[in-house]
Amino acid sequence: MFKIGCDYMYFDPGTGSLIIQLLVAGVASLGAFFALFKNKIKNIFLHEEKKDDSHEK
């Protein structure tokens, strides 16, 4: 059975929204960390490629 949202009348839905931010911000920070990690790995390979190119020259 569905629960209809009238309960909000006696409750500040802000609390649930603030708490979920822990998860949302956690996901975002994790994503940012992996993006940074991915870029670092990418840069290492690009750096290696550049080195190889300069050796060939």
Residues that bind other proteins (CB under 8 A): 2-5, 7-8, 11, 13-29, 31-32
Distance from C-alpha of 40 to C-alpha of 34, rounded to nearest angstrom: 10
Residue number with CB closer to other proteins (19 or 45): 19
Torsion sign across C-alpha atoms 18, 23, 24, 30: positive
Q: How far is the CB of 45 from other proteins (least distance, A)?
A: 24
Distance from C-alpha of 27 to C-alpha of 44, rounded to nearest angstrom: 26
Residue number with CB closer to other proteins (34 or 50): 34
Residue number with CB closer to other proteins (22 or 55): 22
